[in-house]
Amino acid sequence: MTPALKDLYVQKDKMYVATDCIIFGFDAGKLKLLVFKRRVEPFLGTWSLIGSFVRMEEDVSVAAKRVLTEITGLDNVFMEQLKAYGLADRDPGYRCVSIAQFALIRIDDYDKELTEKHGAHWFELEELPELVLDHSQMVEDAMARLKRKARYQPIGFELLPEKFTIPQLQSLYEAIYQKKLDDRNFRKKLMSLGLLIKLNEKDKSSSRRGAFLYKFDYDNYQKLVKSGYNFEIA
């Protein structure tokens, strides 16, 4: 029963509501996570996700976006709610429910000064230190979600620059799925979707020959989704 419906006869406690952001990036073939080092007590020196309390007049999703923008200077970032974490004793200080959100950002876009000012650091996922409270659990859950979701929704592209090469895209999917993919089959599959626009430019940063750049065709994707299309990658 929703609050308004039975506020007269029910135990009604108020608590803090926070939101924490699991911020993924991708660089040099590795998935990375943006975490923060505490510079004040309590928990000084421990690593933590970035987060904030949700304010009285603020949507939970808006609170998460506010935090992300404060920290990275970025707007229009892909962000989605993961789930709420509501163990009564999850925060030793006081009762607080946290709603975790995961964000995918293009790692070279973000404002470097801004993040450094906040004590931020990019960790490779495999080298992630222990995080405060239940934040490590949040990361694990977010990773599982990303792994599953990447299969049926083109969210991987949120982690790449707007223009990317097929080998880059493949290495991203390899990082997400944590396994090697066959390059010929990967290319074939991706091309057959008809959702990549080949550009007349090459990226020469990783080979003498250079690889053609592509863009993801969001317009066509939207159209296909509307007509009931269901896509899968790898």
CB atoms within 10 A of CB 147: 12
Q: 141 is written with which tokens? A: 């859950």
| Residue 166 near DNA by CB under 7 A | yes
Cβ at position 125, least distance to DNA in Å: 23
d(CA 21, CA 135): 10
Residues 80-139 that bind its own copies (CB under 8 A): 81, 83-84, 86-88, 91-99, 132-133, 135
CB 147 within 8 A of CB 102: no
Which residue is it, tokens 């990773």?
143
d(CA 212, CA 49): 36
| Residue 28 near its own copies by CB under 8 A | no
**Contact with its own copies (CB under 8 A): which of 28, 40, 108, 113?**
40
Q: 23 is written with which tokens? A: 């911020």
Q: Is the peptide bond before 42 cis (omega within 30 degrees of 0)?
A: yes
Cβ at position 127, least distance to its own copies in Å: 22
**Contact with DNA (CB under 7 A): which of 95, 118, 189, 215?**
189
Specify the stretch interacting with its own copies by CB under 8 A; choose among 48-56, 159-167, 200-208, 216-224.
Answer: 48-56
| Residue 165 near DNA by CB under 7 A | yes
Cβ at position 185, least distance to its own copies in Å: 18
| Residue 66 near its own copies by CB under 8 A | no
Amino acid identity, residue 14? K
| Residue 167 near DNA by CB under 7 A | yes
| Residue 203 near its own copies by CB under 8 A | no
CB atoms within 10 A of CB 34: 24
d(CA 68, CA 228): 33
37 binds, among its own copies, DNA, none (CB under 5 to 8 A by kind): none
CB atoms within 10 A of CB 105: 20
**Contact with its own copies (CB under 8 A): which of 54, 142, 155, 160?**
54
Which of 6/180 has CB closer to its own copies?
6
| Residue 42 near its own copies by CB under 8 A | yes
* Torsion, Cα of 149, 154, 160, 166 (10° steps): 110
Residues that bind DNA (CB under 7 A): 165-167, 182-185, 187-189, 202, 204, 206-212, 232
